[in-house]
Copies of this chain bind each other. A is one copy, B any other.
């Protein structure tokens, strides 16, 4: 049992995966000597060498595209995209190549790679450094997409993602890198990667988040409890496949559901959760599924990002509104 920040947990998980399998490579901009701009790969190049921790030229399509080739040669590349907003130059390689190679080859080609993306806002950054691009990957068949929300999950999930024979987009809530600290039991058997999880049980309304919004949901549950409302909170963890089994089970009890993410509301993951849960639990719902997310505007300047991001008040307001139907 070690106390770790989320950043440190990812670092430890990466290290463990590299120790366990010498086919695991880390690559990206500044991941070597510098240890990444967030220090997630700190010390790895020193210990595993330049061949396994690869500082790349400044070109995201090049990074992902060469990682595809490395994967075809039997390696397991773990690619770091420096910030969410810089994944787009690699979009073609991710969506048309990484996602499709297994399918196109009738299962003959495996592309076991992990694309790590620090995502989300709330760190006072300049533009393009606070994006939430996950919906687009969830919409793309052939990719798996997960998001961690706490150090213990981060430690286990990064290893599980690396171990997966399928390509995984791995979302890291950058806002929590250094603020989220927790005891991590490195020897505990990890929860299955492809499952969401109830993180706080409740009976009146269901709140669903992932990545950075899980803690917002938990805070909301605490406040709501003071007002006598019992809120169940679910951490989706996996966005593709989208595990809605616990959500549906919960909604059948509570009849009310609010989904929270930082991505823009329109066609954010909440849209899919709402559509599916409504289809599955139509007669259980007392109110429509409500969504709290970033507005449908570009991410605003940092001084007003708090107004843009879903916060405690907006989540609680949505909870209230589900009781107004």
Contact = CB atoms under 8 A, between A and B. Distances in A.
A268 interface: yes
A12 to B, nearest CB: 33
Contact of A267 (B127, B135, B288, B290): B135
A88 interface: yes
A279 B272 contact: no
Contacts of A278: 274-275, 278, 288-289
What is the interface of chain A mostly: helix, strand, loop, or mixed?
mixed
A287 B282 contact: yes
Nearest to A301: B104
A89 B92 contact: yes
Contacts of A270: 275
Contacts of A291: 275
Contacts of A38: none
A124 interface: no
A138 B91 contact: no
| Copy count, this protein chain | 2
A271 interface: yes
Interface residues of A, number: 48
Nearest to A297: B141
A128 B279 CA distance: 31
Contacts of A61: 89
A266 interface: yes
Contacts of A268: 139
Given A92-B91, A271-B272, A325 B282 contact: yes
Interface string A285-306: 0011111000111100000000
Given A95-B88, A282-B287, A104 B298 contact: yes
Contacts of A264: 139-141
Nearest to A127: B104
A103 interface: yes
A255 interface: no
A269 B267 CA distance: 7
A278 B295 CA distance: 19
Contacts of A289: 275, 278-279
A123 B83 CA distance: 39
Nearest to A104: B127
A122 interface: no
A242 interface: yes
A138 B275 contact: no
Interface string A36-56: 000000000000000000000
A270 B139 CA distance: 12
A100 B279 contact: no
A61 B92 CA distance: 11
A136 interface: yes
A32 to B, nearest CB: 25
A99 B88 CA distance: 13
Given A136-B139, A138-B267, A278-B278, 13 more contacts: A61-B89, A88-B92, A89-B91, A91-B92, A100-B298, A135-B267, A136-B136, A139-B263, A139-B266, A142-B297, A274-B275, A275-B278, A282-B325
